[in-house]
Structure 1
Amino acid sequence: MSDHRMAPVSLPVAAHEPPYYAVVFTSVRSEAEGDDGYDRAAERLGELVKDIPGFLGEDAARTPGGLGVTVAYFRDLAGIEEWRRHQEHRAAKEYGREHWYERYSLHIARVEHSHGFERARG
């Protein structure tokens, strides 16, 4: 069994008042040598998406074997479309197809229910 305490973890995105949308991006990285700018691009895109109206946050995880899952949350479909058309995002997607990914899938789902839990610290 793995020790989850050793992995860097960010807090999950808080529950929001539904309805809203979840964009689920699941990817498998290519076996190319090195990072090839991936981490820098991911950080840059993570900052840019915050300026999209209706963006609520994102959760992301990657396994050592290269499987990644990112879930971005948006208030409405208009925000998703604006992000899809964003010039730097489009350029990164094109570069990713050529260099970073073996495959990926994208799913957009409407969130009908949302709640959260946080253990009380005492």
Structure 2
Amino acid sequence: MFVVIFRAKVRSVDSEYSKVAARLRELAMGQFGCVDFQAITEGNNEIALSYWPNEASILEWKSHSEHVLAQQLGRERWYESYSVQVAEIIHEYHVAC
């Protein structure tokens, strides 16, 4: 299992941002194998975690035309800056309290 960690400094968010984000989440999970997606925004900081079964799925997703367009819109309109990290999860456990 792999996790993609997306961190951004938000410039501004508009109604199109929410629509694009919802569409991308739907597409990633429905067609590209993303198994979970979580995002949080605090002030102008956004962090999104997406979980993937393998690196090939991540690379396919990265180059998909709708995602490429969203990346361009992000650079031009929504984000001051962002970073992406990809990490392999080598151990996981859950505890119910």
Structure 2 residue identity aligned to 1:24? I
The one of 38, 56, 59 equivalent to 2:17 is 38
Q: Which runs of 5+ in 2 are unaligned?
A: none
**Structure whose residues are more often helix by fraction:** 2
Distance 1:93 1:36 in 2: 16
Give 3-state SS (helix, strand or coil) of 1:44's partner.
helix
Distance 1:104 1:66 in 2: 12
Post-superposition offset of 1:36: 5.1
Distance 2:9 2:90 in 1: 28
Structure 1 residue identity aligned to 2:16? G
Distance 2:51 2:8 in 1: 17
TM-score normalised to the size of structure 2?
0.92
Which contiguous aligned blocks of 4+ residues in structure 1 show a shift greater than 2 angstroms?
A: 51-54
Instruction: Indicate if the aligned counterparts of 1:25 and 1:105 stay in contact, CA closer than 8 A.
Output: yes
Post-superposition offset of 1:66: 1.6
TM-score normalised to the size of structure 1?
0.74
**Structure whose residues are more often strand by fraction:** 2
What is the total number of aligned residue pairs between the two structures?
A: 97
- Higher-Rg structure is 1
Distance 1:37 1:53 in 2: 22
